[in-house]
Amino acid sequence: MNIKVAIVQSENLYNHLQQNIVKMELQIKEAANKDAQIVVFPELSACGYIPNQSIWKYAEELGGNLTKWCCDLSKKLEIYIGVGFIEKKIIIFITVTFLREQKVRFAELYEKNFMKKV
């Protein structure tokens, strides 16, 4: 059995969440059209990365807008999407989630829990 994986490397701008998501969706659809079954993005690709405290405003609950968007798109395209985001909990984590919408389940969840809020 062969699995086709698309690893996306692109410049996503900090503080341009909606613009980045539109760009990511186009990249996901392009990969799916080329028969990719898994599409993986860099850490914090949706919100962009900046190494200071302002990044924390993009933290969201698991199941928030970004993960809902990924789940909906993965269901529509029948693929897995790996995307990193800042998960809002008691402690904030950088979370990478491989999403595949089947009754809203998460295929895999990795929490980078050694990060500290600055």
Residues in the chain: 118
Structural domain boundaries, residue 75: 5-112
Give CA 24 to chain center in angstroms: 9
Write out the two tokens for 98.
Answer: 């491989």
pLDDT, residue 67, reads: 83
For residue 76, tell me if it sits in a domain: yes
For residue 39, tell me if it sits in a domain: yes
pLDDT mean by block of 10 residues, the chain; 118 residues: 91 89 96 95 86 85 84 90 78 56 49 50
pLDDT, residue 115, reads: 47
pLDDT, residue 6, reads: 96
End-to-end CA distance of the chain: 44
CA-wise closest residue to 43 among 105, 91, 110: 110
For residue 118, tell me if it sits in a domain: no
For residue 63, tell me if it sits in a domain: yes
Q: What is the pLDDT of residues 57-67, one digit of tens each?
A: 888 887 888 88
For residue 117, tell me if it sits in a domain: no
pLDDT, residue 105, reads: 46
Cβ count near 57 (within 10 Å): 11
- Greatest alpha-carbon pair distance for the chain in Å reads 44
According to DSSP, the residues that pair with 95 across neighbouring strands are 85, 111
Residues 6 or more apart whose Cβ sits within 8 Å of residue 6 = 31, 34, 36, 38, 39, 40
**Global pTM?**
0.78
Domains held by the chain: number: 1
